[in-house]
Structures are given as structure tokens and as C-alpha cells.
Amino acid sequence: MMNCLQSWPEPVVRVQSLAASGVRAIPERYIKPPSHRPLTKNDFSPPQEANIPVIDFQNVFSDDQRLRDEALRNIHSACHEWGFFQVVNHGVSHELMKRTSEVWREFFKLPVEVKQEYANTPATYEGYGSRLGVEKGAILDWSDYFFLNYMPESLRNPNIWPATPASCRELVAEYGHEVCKLGGKLMKAFSINLGLEEDLLLKAFGGEENVGACLRVNYYPKCPQPDLTLGLSPHSDPGGLTILLPDENVAGLQVCRKGSWLTVKPVPNAFIINIGDQIQVLSNAIYQSVEHRVIVNSNKDRVSLALFYNPKSDLLIEPSKQLVSDERPALYPPMTYDEYRLYVRTKGPCGKKQVESLKSPRPCSEC
């Protein structure tokens, strides 16, 4: 299935190297069409900050029924109204979060020839990359990244994880383990809120041992013309849910809400959670993924860690039978995550075109 994705269609340029070269004008390949730029000619106001819901997650499994019900209600409301929320008291060590973020920042400071040893291909995306999608001549995003598989263990390849800095592999293993545990708890909360058995969504993903978890560390270099480009183009996440460790010092994530782009202000020591397309399908669109993007900064670079908590790639995903009725028929056909993500790997970030196109028999339109 991935044979068409063995190599990039043109030489890969490292955005970090481009930024470090001192360019004052970004190459045309990174300039977005006027309608896709962070600010239009008619809008010189700073972006609005989004006060997305903040959930005290420790209460979700409290012995106190009142606290538990309130926390679950807050999560349901956030999923239904926003598709995004932040969690505090989530059970992952703050020190581990900080150290893991710092070790990846150190990795991106290494000489380019060291990082090049981990250069990726579109066949798996694992390793050091600088573009998403394989369409020749595509307009590119102002970012580099490192992508690796974490779950299921059979796909884990620590040899692809950076050997430098020395603590990187150990931290990735520990961080992945703890954040995956959080992902499982979130799935249980979603199941309860949807009126399903507590473990139904997790079972649909293959169970704790078989979920597909992967980590993408995003590096957004300083940009001399941040008003012309984006660090990551508008998209909804194709997987199940995303657990994002943002850069607390540099805002960048923007969420589309009621037609406006709102900049998320990270809460200290919180994770930002968002619903992906697979949860939208399983919930029969009761919960919906939300378009988001990343803006860049002229003065500061930015590092974020996104752990994608996905279905086992060869399982059929379709609306849960309990959420389908004559009044609300199944909106999506069965499809494996392997089949689903091939579209994204071919075309790159594409708004919500893919998941919305599944509602009709017509093929996806071009980006």
C-alpha cells in the first residue's frame, strides 16, 4: 500500500538550516495563499487568545461521586463544544514533561549532519523530517519534526530514536509509557460520557497493548516573515486523540472556532487534548475533530510534543452500534486507520476535507 511513498518528490530542505542562514525573505515554497495566511490585509489586530476549557483530571476517577460527575460533565462539554481542552493533575510527572521537552530541544540544536543520520522517508515517516505529504511542488510549512512509533511494541524501533543527547531514548520510553496511560484513561472517560461501556472505545482501538501510539516532536524555527506562512497548515488530526505538550513560553497553536482562529494560551504543566477523526467516526459525530493550525514567531523558536493515540492500524473503525439508530444512521463507512491515513500522507494537512468527504460517496476534492 505504501509503495507509492518510498521517497520525497524533490530534495528536502531543513527549515532550521534555512532560518539559521539569516534569510530575510522566506522562499516562495513557504508562502501561503493570501486567504490562508495568519493575518489578512484587513486584519492587523493581534490574534484572540482562546480560553479553552481546563479540566482537573484527578477528579475523573475520584471516590467522591459529585467530583467525578462534575469532571466527566466538564469533559463531555469540552469535547462537544470545543473538541479541545487542557488537563491538569493528569498524573504525568511535571519533571518528566520538562526533561523530555528539554532533551528534544537539545536534539534540534545538534549539527545538521548528526540529525541527518535520522532522515526519514514518506514510507513510514519515522525519523527526522521537514515536510508532510508527497505532492510535488506543494506549498510547505515552516517546521521540522521528529516522528517515531511507540505502540504497539512490535512497531517500536529504539534504534531510530536519537542516541544523542544520551538520555533521549530513556526519556522517550518513560514519557511514552506515562502519556499512553493518560490516553487510556481519557478513552474511558469518553466512553462513559457517550453512554457506552467504559472500555468500549479502547477495545475498538485494539486494547491497551495494541493501540497505535506515535510521537511527533515539532520544531518551529524563528521566521523572518511569520505573516506569510504557517508552522503547520490547517488540519484535523486523522487519529484518535492527541495529547500535546506545548511550549509554555511561545504560543503557536490556533484553534478554529465559529470561523475565527483563536490562539491557545497554555496552562503551566498541562497537556492540551484534542479529538481526532477516528473518535469522530466511532462516536458517529457526537464528538467532532476540530481544525487547527500553528503560527510561527519572528523572535523565538518553539518546540512541542504531540503524542497521537490511534487505533491499531489494521482494525476497521466505524460508528459504534449503540450510537446508531433510525433517527441517527451511521455517517461513516468502515475503514482501517491504515487506509485513512494514506490520504494524509499523500496530500499533507488538508483541513477537514477527508473526514467530511466520507459522509458522501464522492471522492475527496483536491487540497
pLDDT digits over 157-207, tens only?
A: 989 999 999 999 999 999 999 999 999 999 999 999 999 999 999 999 999
Share of residues in the chain with pLDDT > 70 (%)? 89
**Band of the pLDDT at 344, cuts 50, 70, 90?**
low
pLDDT score recorded for residue 349: 58
> Which residue in this structure is represented by grid cell 511542488?
137
Instruction: Tell me the per-residue pLDDT of 53-100, one tens digit each, with 9 for 90 and over.
Output: 999 999 998 999 999 999 999 999 999 999 999 999 999 999 999 999
**Kind of pairing between the strands at 335-336 and 144-149:** unpaired
pLDDT score recorded for residue 9: 86
**Band of the pLDDT at 239, cuts 50, 70, 90?**
very high
**Band of the pLDDT at 45, cuts 50, 70, 90?**
very low
Mean pLDDT (whole number) for 41-49: 50
**Band of the pLDDT at 353, cuts 50, 70, 90?**
low
pLDDT score recorded for residue 347: 61
Residue 235 has pLDDT above 70, yes or no: yes
Q: How distant, in Å, are the alpha carbons of 189, 203, 205, 246 from that of 173? A: 25, 23, 21, 19
Task: Tell me the domain boundaries of the chain.
Answer: 51-358
For residue 13, give every residue at least 6 positions away whose Cβ sits within 8 Å of its Cβ, in sequence order, or none: 27, 29, 130
- Report the 10 Å Cβ neighbour count for 326: 5
Looking at per-residue pLDDT, the higher value among 242 and 158 belongs to 242
pLDDT score recorded for residue 354: 65
* Residue-wise burial string across 45-73, b where 16 or more C-beta atoms lie within 10 A, e elsewhere: eeeeebebbebebebbeeeeeeebebbbe
Distance of CA 84 to the CA centre of its chain: 11
Q: What are phi and psi of 91, to 5 degrees?
A: 95, -5
Give dist(CA 220, CA 212) in Å, integer: 25
**Band of the pLDDT at 46, cuts 50, 70, 90?**
low
Give dist(CA 309, CA 242) in Å, integer: 6
Half-sphere exposure of 262 (CA within 13 A, CB side): 16
Residue 302 has pLDDT above 80, yes or no: yes
Residue 117 has pLDDT above 60, yes or no: yes
Cβ atoms of 112 and 16 closer than 8 Å: yes
- The residue type found at 300 is K
Residue 345 has pLDDT above 70, yes or no: no
For the ranges 305-309, 315-319, 361-365, the lowest mean pLDDT is seen at 361-365
Share of residues in the chain with pLDDT > 90 (%)? 78
**Kind of pairing between the strands at 48-50 and 260-264:** parallel
pLDDT score recorded for residue 174: 98
- Neighbouring-strand partners of residue 148: 215
pLDDT score recorded for residue 134: 78
Give dist(CA 34, CA 300) in Å, integer: 24
pLDDT score recorded for residue 363: 36
CATH superfamily assigned to domain 51-358: B-lactam Antibiotic, Isopenicillin N Synthase; Chain (2.60.120.330)
Mean pLDDT (whole number) for 25-48: 75
> Which residue in this structure is represented by grid cell 488530526?
237
Average pLDDT value for the chain: 90
- Neighbouring-strand partners of residue 84: 274
Q: Is 46 helix (H, G, I), strand (E, B) or coil?
A: coil
pLDDT score recorded for residue 365: 34
Mean pLDDT (whole number) for 121-125: 86
Rg over alpha carbons for the chain, rounded to the nearest Å, is 20
pLDDT score recorded for residue 92: 98
Q: Find which of 7-16, 290-299, 346-355 is predicted with most confidence, using mean pLDDT.
A: 290-299
In the chain, beta strands by DSSP E = 48-50, 54-56, 84-88, 127-129, 144-149, 212-220, 232-235, 241-245, 253-257, 260-264, 271-275, 292-294, 302-310, 316-317, 335-336
